[in-house]
Structure formats: C-alpha cells, structure tokens
Amino acid sequence: MSRYLVDKFLYTVDRDPELVARYRVDPRGTVEWWERERANRVLNLHSGEATTWLGFSDEEREALATHDYVRLFELGAHHFLTLTLFIALFEHDYEEPLGFQREYARRLSHVRLPYPDIST
C-alpha cells in the first residue's frame, strides 16, 4: 500500500470544501481525477514540479472510490485522516450529534490490537 499517497488524498480533499462535495457525489471520478492531476505534485499546486512514481494500488483506488473507510483503515490509512474526511462527508446524514462517529466506531469494532501500521 502506498499509505503516503492515500493519506495525502485524505488530507488534501478534507481541507478543500469543494473537493469534499465533489468526492461525496462522484467518489470514483474524484479519485481518478485526483490521482491523475494532483497525486504527484511536489510542494504545491503552483510550483509545476511533479513526480511520476506514485500511484494507488487497485485495492486502494477501489476503497477510496467506494468510500470504504473500514477497508482504508485495514490497509493502514491514518485513522484520524479517515475519520475527519468521512465526518465531513457524512455527518449531515445523521439526526444526532456524533451519529457518524458512532457508526464509524461500530463498523470498526471488529479491529483489535495491534492496529494496522500507519507509518508512511
């Protein structure tokens, strides 16, 4: 797994409200666009500097494209990054405060120590 690239996706999308909205309605298209246009940018979007060696594995791409935060966690994506992005995506779908967070915890309740390695 390219944990770094998955974490970079989670981090950069979460910090851009337009990308959050785009990812919610078109997750597969957003993942494909982001991997093609943003994944290999070095430093920032305006520098023009890029690399070509990073890419998602098929399993990572599918988990991102299907909003499968459980699988992302199991693959070693950073739990704080998955939680914060998916809160932004889905918190308004729940009637109660912390509704999504409870759902997140319930869906990850099968995970036991030691947790997946999140080092990049």
Cα–Cα nearest to 6, from 70, 82, 66: 82
Torsion of Cα atoms, 11 then 15 then 18 then 20, to 10°? 50
* Full-model pTM: 0.87
Which pLDDT does position 117 carry in this prediction? 83
Which pLDDT does position 48 carry in this prediction? 57
Q: Is residue 113 assigned to a domain?
A: no
Q: Is residue 117 assigned to a domain?
A: no
Q: Which amino acid is at 21?
A: A
Q: Is residue 73 assigned to a domain?
A: yes
Do the beta carbons of residue 103 and residue 65 sit within 8 Å? no
Total of domains in the chain? 1
Which pLDDT does position 50 carry in this prediction? 57
| Mean pLDDT, 10 residues at a time, the chain of 120 residues | 88 96 98 92 58 82 98 94 96 95 96 83
Per the structure, the complete domain to which residue 19 belongs is given by 3-107
Do the beta carbons of residue 3 and residue 76 sit within 8 Å? yes
Q: Is residue 119 assigned to a domain?
A: no
Half-sphere exposure of 31 (CA within 13 A, CB side): 21
Q: Is residue 30 assigned to a domain?
A: yes
